[in-house]
Amino acid sequence: MIALLALSLAADLRVGIIGTDTSHAGAFTKILNDKANPEHVPGARVVAAFKGGSPDLPESANRVEGYANELMKRWNIEIVPSIASLCGKVDAILLESVDGRKHLPQFREAVRCAKPVFIDKPLASTLDDAREIAALAKRSGVAWFSSSSLRYAQYVLDLKSAPVAGAITWGPGPFEEHHQLDLSWYAIHPAEALFTILGPGCEEVTRRTGANADEVTCRWKDGRIGTMRAMRPYGDYGAVAFGEKDVRQSPPKPKFSYAALLVEVVKFFQTGKPPVPNEETLEIFAFLDAAQRSKDAGGVPMKLR
């Protein structure tokens, strides 16, 4: 890791992408590679990509070739035939595949490169897969972290800047039939915002399902209450934080940027130190798992596994 840091000080780190079936592949490349971009994040640049893709998932199959072509033609990114092909070409990896089911098998191949890996949302499609990713990384000595860009949205950071006694977050929550934890597909965003504001420590989850939204309420170990509302098919993002003497709310239609996330990703690639503890990321998935079990049981409160 010392050698990696020395390299980062001398030149941009070389980054490889796994999964060209998401708009993040092109958006992240633009921010990292285009020095004229007002949001440019220095220190790393994308140099190669593996397409990946999920034939049974339209959101993947319909986009993988288009985004791969964009990377090749606009950014001169080399498309490689396998994840193993990335190993000698890159110093770090962005695992971007839109399908959470692919993340465990792809990470299993990526750890053989012995390079730090950022795993885009969702970390996985099940809690067991998420835990196996963590176990693989520990056995292999590979640093990893995963996060929604909402963790670094200014409105979330503002709300957590003072003591918080409770919080409500909301955002889009469409389902995708192949993801066993149905909230992991997109509601990972308001879930991440909730944990950013309140921190870890959730112990019991209750979920109520309506025609166009689900509401998930969690009791923290210290007695605080947090609630996440996932709206379907889509909706705006936002949050409210309850302080000891005040109530703070996000502005209407708050903005967020991938650049703030990528600043943390590049720091992570340079140091090997995840900005979000892996244990907290796994707790978010335990929260989603408990929410799924509560839904399946008709709204019965569930402890985190």
For 134, 220, 269, the CA distances from 223, given in Å and listed in that order, are 29, 5, 36
Alpha carbon distance 97, 59 (integer Å): 11
The CATH class of 2-120 is: alpha beta
- Rounded mean pLDDT, 6-11: 52
Alpha carbon distance 275, 251 (integer Å): 26
For the purposes of burial, counting CB atoms within 10 Å of the CB of 204, is it exposed (0-12), middle (13-18) or buried (19 or more)? middle
Whole-number pLDDT of residue 10: 52
Whole-number pLDDT of residue 53: 92
End-to-end CA distance of the chain: 33
Per-residue pLDDT of 248-299, as tens digits, reads 999 998 988 899 999 999 999 999 999 999 999 999 999 999 999 999 999 9
Spatial contact of 129 and 208, defined as CB atoms under 8 Å apart? no
Domain-wise residue ranges, the chain: 2-120, 150-255+286-303
Whole-number pLDDT of residue 5: 46
Cis peptide bond upstream of 38, omega within 30: no
Tell me the pLDDT band of 7, cut-offs 50, 70 and 90.
Answer: very low
Q: In what order do the strands lie in the sheet with 166-172?
A: 247-249, 238-242, 166-172, 225-231, 213-220, 202-209, 302-303
DSSP 68: H
C-alpha torsion angle, residues 39, 99, 139, 82 (rounded to 10): -80
Whole-number pLDDT of residue 1: 46
Whole-number pLDDT of residue 8: 43
Q: Is the predicted pLDDT of residue 209 greater than 60, yes or no?
A: yes
Per-residue pLDDT of 108-146, as tens digits, reads 999 999 999 999 999 999 999 999 999 999 999 999 999
Helix (H, G, I), strand (E, B) or coil at 211: coil
Mean pLDDT lowest among 1-10, 76-85, 169-178, 194-203: 1-10
- What predicted TM-score, i.e. pTM, was given to this entire model? 0.93
Q: Which residue has the higher pLDDT, 97 or 9?
A: 97
Per-residue pLDDT of 149-160, as tens digits, reads 999 999 999 999
The fold adopted by the segment(s) 150-255+286-303 is Dihydrodipicolinate Reductase; domain 2 (3.30.360)
Query: What does R_g of the chain's alpha carbons equal in angstroms?
Result: 19
Per-residue pLDDT of 44-82, as tens digits, reads 999 999 999 999 988 889 999 999 999 999 999 999 999
Alpha carbon distance 101, 124 (integer Å): 6
Spatial contact of 23 and 99, defined as CB atoms under 8 Å apart? no
Q: Is the predicted pLDDT of residue 4 greater than 50, yes or no?
A: no
